[in-house]
DNA sequence: TTTGAAAGTTAGACAAT
DNA sequence: ATTGTCTAACTTTCAAA
């Protein structure tokens, strides 16, 4: 991971569909060199994939919320089973398994508050391992899409 | 947004770098048609960008945490100023402005717990609008990268 | 809107350094 | 590791349906 690798990672986070030639031109290296670097970064697992990002409003899911969930008993099996359950819910965008008082933080996107309520009542609350669940509507979500190495 | 558009959005979320020909072949349409559809989705703002995803461990940021922050006074100016401050922190991945008891949920990634502690003490706690901050280490983070329309 | 065909660009392989 | 060259594959335009 030298400076060129860092720059490639930064540029491809900014725009994953720019051509290899364009990328090489920006970095001041030959296209074949650039291609080799990108492949190596992918092979080493530094770059894990390329994804289109979408507007949740355009997909009719303008309402976002964060669910704070506690489950019991806290053992591996119950945690893994509940996590798998969350993954299976189409409303779910992100699942954070956290330390501290709460066990799960779940980021969801739904068409409206009705659908959030319905999802909570028909899916989440029915799970017997759930002992507590609070939900907070998200007013705004800002994502930092370009993650760089931290300067020490 | 017909079925073909939905399929395009789904496929490009899965792999944003597949060729237009490949994408067209999967959908059973002509490459020129496919190109036109993708361009329209981008122009309409359904697809907002194309981003490489990275392994946080490979970027030397293996420790993630969620900060729950309350600020006062709660008015637009203070909220916006604090949000801008958070955006400026390189450790920050996601900022959720939420309803309910807490005001901000901040997703951060750092090299180690020392850096988390340092960041909290030297940056966050020094802000006079911060009246409360709890931090939870994230054991696991699962992202649903392919967001589809919700079937009713 | 969708398409096939033509023209212009690019990716990817490879031998040389 | 980096590069220039080459060929196959691809993107993009456009006239026609």
Instruction: Output the pLDDT for position B92.
Output: 98
Does residue B49 lie within any of the structural domains? no
Entry pTM: 0.96
CATH number of the domain residue B71 falls in: 3.30.70.920
- Does the pLDDT value for residue A37 go beyond 80? yes
Whole-number percent of chain B with pLDDT over 90: 99
Q: Is the CB of B37 under 7 A from strand C?
A: yes
C-beta atoms of B16 and A17 within 8 A = yes
Tokens, residue A63:
């309402």
Whether residues A31 and A84 fall in one domain: no
Whether residues A19 and A77 fall in one domain: no
CA distance A144 to chain B (A): 5
- Residue–nucleotide distance: A29 CA to D3 C1' (Å): 9
- Residue–nucleotide distance: A41 CA to D4 C1' (Å): 23
Pairing of strands A63-71, B63-71: unpaired
Does residue A151 lie within any of the structural domains? no
Domain around A24:
3-43
Does residue A57 lie within any of the structural domains? no
Does residue A58 lie within any of the structural domains? no
Give the 3-state secondary structure of residue B34.
helix
Contacts of A133 (CB under 8 A, 6+ apart): A67, A68, A69, A70, A120, A124, A125
CA distance B128 to chain A (A): 22
Q: Which of A47, A99, A105 sits opposite B54 (nearest CB)?
A: A47
On the 0-12 / 13-18 / 19+ scale of CB atoms within 10 A, B128 is exposed
Whether residues A73 and A105 fall in one domain: yes
Task: Give me the phi and psi of B125, to 5 degrees please.
Answer: -65, -20
Does residue A35 lie within any of the structural domains? yes
Whether residues A32 and A93 fall in one domain: no
Whether residues B21 and B72 fall in one domain: no
CA–CA dist B91, A7 (Å, integer): 18
B3-29: per-residue pLDDT in tens? 999 999 999 999 999 999 999 999 999
Does residue B22 lie within any of the structural domains? yes
Whether residues B115 and B86 fall in one domain: yes
Whole-number percent of chain A with pLDDT over 70: 100
Whether residues B74 and B130 fall in one domain: yes
Closest CA to B84 of B76, B53, A82: B76
A110-126: per-residue pLDDT in tens? 999 999 999 999 999 99
CA–CA dist A73, A76 (Å, integer): 9
Which of the residues B6, B19, B51 would you substitute to probe the A interface, choosing the one with the greatest number of A C-beta atoms within 10 Å?
Answer: B51
CA distance A76 to chain B (A): 12
CA–CA dist B83, B87 (Å, integer): 6
Whether residues A99 and A133 fall in one domain: yes
Whether residues B37 and B95 fall in one domain: no
- Going by the DSSP 8-state scheme, the letter that residue B41 receives in this structure is H
B117-138: per-residue pLDDT in tens? 999 999 999 999 999 999 999 9
Whether residues A134 and A70 fall in one domain: yes
- Does the pLDDT value for residue A152 go beyond 90? no
Beta-bridge partner residues of A133:
A69
- Does the pLDDT value for residue A49 go beyond 90? yes
User: Please, what's the b/e burial string for B32-60 (b: 16 or more CB within 10 A of its CB; e: otherwise)?
Assistant: eebeebbeebbeeebbebbbbbbebebbe
- Residue–nucleotide distance: A19 CA to C10 C1' (Å): 8
Does residue B23 lie within any of the structural domains? yes
What's the domain count of chain B? 2
- Does the pLDDT value for residue B34 go beyond 90? yes
Which of the residues A9, A18, A43, A51 would you substitute to probe the B interface, choosing the one with the greatest number of B C-beta atoms within 10 Å?
Answer: A51
Instruction: Output the pLDDT for position A151.
Output: 86
CATH number of the domain residue B15 falls in: 1.10.10.10
Which whole-number Å values give the CA distances from A29 to A6, B52, B62, B71, B120, in the listed order? 14, 20, 30, 47, 39
C-beta atoms of B139 and A97 within 8 A = yes
Whether residues B80 and B123 fall in one domain: yes
Whether residues B39 and B73 fall in one domain: no
A74-122: per-residue pLDDT in tens? 999 999 999 999 999 999 999 999 999 999 999 999 999 999 999 999 9
C-beta atoms of B96 and A140 within 8 A = yes
What angle separates helix B20-27 from helix B3-14, to the nearest 10 degrees? Answer: 130
Does residue B90 lie within any of the structural domains? yes
Terminal-residue alpha carbon distance, chain A: 15
Q: Is the CB of A33 under 7 A from strand D?
A: yes
With contacts defined as CB-CB under 8 Å, which chain A residues touch B148?
59, 90
Q: Is the CB of B25 under 7 A from strand D?
A: no
Instruction: Give B152's pLDDT tier (boundaries 50, 70, 90).
Output: confident
């Amino acid at each position: 991971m030298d400076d060129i690798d860092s720059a490639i990672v930064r540029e491809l986070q900014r725009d994953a569909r720019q051509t290899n030639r364009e990328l090489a031109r920006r970095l001041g290296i030959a296209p074949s060199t650039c291609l080799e670097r990108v492949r190596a970064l992918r092979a080493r697992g530094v770059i894990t994939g390329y994804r289109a990002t979408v507007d949740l409003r355009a997909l009719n899911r303008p309402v976002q919320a964060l669910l704070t969930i506690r489950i019991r008993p806290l053992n591996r099996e119950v945690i893994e089973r509940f996590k798998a359950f969350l993954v299976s819910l189409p409303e779910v965008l992100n699942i954070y398994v956290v330390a501290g008082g709460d066990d799960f933080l779940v980021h969801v996107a739904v068409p409206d508050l009705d659908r959030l309520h319905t999802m909570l009542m028909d899916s989440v609350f029915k799970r017997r391992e759930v002992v507590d669940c609070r939900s907070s509507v998200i007013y705004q979500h800002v994502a930092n899409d370009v993650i760089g190495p931290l300067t020490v």
